[in-house]
């Protein structure tokens, strides 16, 4: 009797183990299946309209003539300035926290503050941008205001990525540098930075790719949804102060219209956006690999 009961409970335990294994595997696959469905659908709907005319035309009220030139250029302009601001700022903060910061209250405040900022909803950054950059700094709805808002938005991610890269520098290298009589700044500049550079660059590019897809903050700031104008076409020097729109805003604009032609255009816009993201991520990975090989040589 007892042997039967024991074997039955063993069988049920084994069954449970098998069922749960299948469930956990299914859970993992669910996300992947949704991702595949989403991509297939977007590409099926979007690819037919994708041609040079689409890339090279302005948005229009007529779906057949609408293109994505101004949002695409707007995205590139905003991202260029965002990179310009966020790279040094993120790196400097990371350097301070990793190399210089004393263990005191101020450091603790800065650290908690950064991790809290990472959790602030992006739309709140939009309100910050609207109030501080658009109104107080009177930058209006310009490329510069958009780039500053994006810089602040991705700053926590940039800092965290740069810190990780700096932490990967072996202490044997820094110790050796100090042993040769180098000062702290010399060590940072000649040893730490060159070694960590690929990691920092990759981290920056990845956080930029987060910014490229952000819609809400720029929508909040009033980045116009209909712009038949490329920043810099009145002279490159004026570009930072020109009005702009970006890819995700144009996609949002098309997606929120009921006509199916516009929905198709939204899908085409998404294809362009995803290609831009793919190029950036691939670029980040290539850069990292190239630099890594150089250091190992």
Residues 28-87 that bind other proteins (CB under 8 A): 28, 30-32, 34-35, 37-38, 41-42, 45
Among 6, 25, 180, 282, binds other proteins (CB under 8 A): 25
Length of the chain: 297
Q: Which is nearer to other proteins, 28 or 172 (CB)?
A: 28
Q: Please tell me whether residue 103 adopts helix, strand or coil conformation.
A: coil
d(CA 9, CA 4): 9
**Cβ contact 211:148 at 8 Å:** no
Among 277, 283, 287, 288, binds other proteins (CB under 8 A): 277
Work out how close the CB of 265 gets to other proteins at its nearest, in angstroms, rounded to a whole number: 11
Q: Which is nearer to other proteins, 92 or 295 (CB)?
A: 92
The DSSP result for 249-294, as a single string, is HHHHHHHTSSSHHHHHHHHHHHHHHHHHHHHHHHHHHHHHHHHHHH
**Cβ contact 254:265 at 8 Å:** yes
Q: Which is nearer to other proteins, 257 or 290 (CB)?
A: 257
Interface positions, 123-142, toward other proteins (CB under 8 A): 123-128, 130-132, 135
Joined together, the tokens standing for residue 287 give 């850069």
5-8 LR contacts (CB < 8 Å, sep 24+)? none
The residues that bridge with 243 in the sheet, in sequence order, are 142
Among 76, 80, 97, 193, binds other proteins (CB under 8 A): 97
Interface positions, 243-272, toward other proteins (CB under 8 A): 248, 251-252, 255-256, 263, 266-267, 270
Work out how close the CB of 108 gets to other proteins at its nearest, in angstroms, rounded to a whole number: 12
| Binding track, positions 175-214, relative to other proteins; x by CB under 8 A | --------xxxx-x--------------------xx-xxx
d(CA 94, CA 158): 9
Q: Which is nearer to other proteins, 7 or 116 (CB)?
A: 116
Q: Which is nearer to other proteins, 130 or 169 (CB)?
A: 130
Among 71, 156, 198, 199, binds other proteins (CB under 8 A): 156
Q: Measured on CA atoms in the order 57, 59, 60, 62, is the torsion positive or negative?
A: positive
């Amino acid at each position: 009797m007892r042997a039967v009961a024991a074997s039955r409970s063993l069988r049920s335990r084994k069954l449970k183990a098998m069922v749960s294994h299948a469930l956990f595997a299914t859970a993992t696959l669910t996300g992947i299946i949704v991702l595949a469905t989403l991509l297939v659908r977007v590409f099926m709907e979007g690819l037919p309209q994708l041609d040079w005319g689409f890339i090279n035309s302005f948005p229009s009220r007529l779906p057949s003539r609408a293109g994505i030139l101004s949002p695409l250029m707007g995205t590139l302009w905003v991202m260029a300035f965002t990179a310009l601001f966020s790279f040094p700022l993120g790196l400097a903060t990371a350097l301070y926290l990793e190399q210089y910061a004393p263990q005191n209250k101020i450091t603790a405040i800065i650290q908690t503050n950064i991790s809290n900022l990472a959790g602030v909803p992006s739309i709140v950054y939009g309100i910050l941008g609207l109030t501080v950059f658009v109104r107080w700094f009177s930058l209006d709805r310009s490329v510069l205001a958009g780039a500053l808002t994006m810089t602040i938005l991705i700053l926590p991610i940039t800092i965290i990525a740069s810190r990780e890269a700096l932490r990967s520098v072996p202490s044997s290298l820094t110790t050796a540098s100090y042993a040769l009589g180098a000062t702290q700044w010399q060590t940072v500049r000649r040893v730490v930075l060159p070694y960590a550079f690929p990691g920092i660059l990759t981290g920056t590019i990845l956080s930029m790719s987060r910014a490229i897809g952000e819609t809400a903050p720029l929508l909040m700031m009033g980045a116009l949804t209909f712009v038949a104008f490329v920043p810099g076409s009145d002279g490159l020097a004026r570009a930072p102060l020109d009005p702009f729109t970006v890819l995700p805003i144009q996609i949002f604009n098309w997606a929120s219209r009921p006509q199916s032609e516009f929905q198709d255009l939204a899908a085409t816009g998404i294809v362009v956006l995803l290609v831009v993201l793919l190029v950036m991520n691939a670029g980040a990975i290539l850069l990292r690999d190239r630099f890594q090989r150089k250091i190992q040589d």
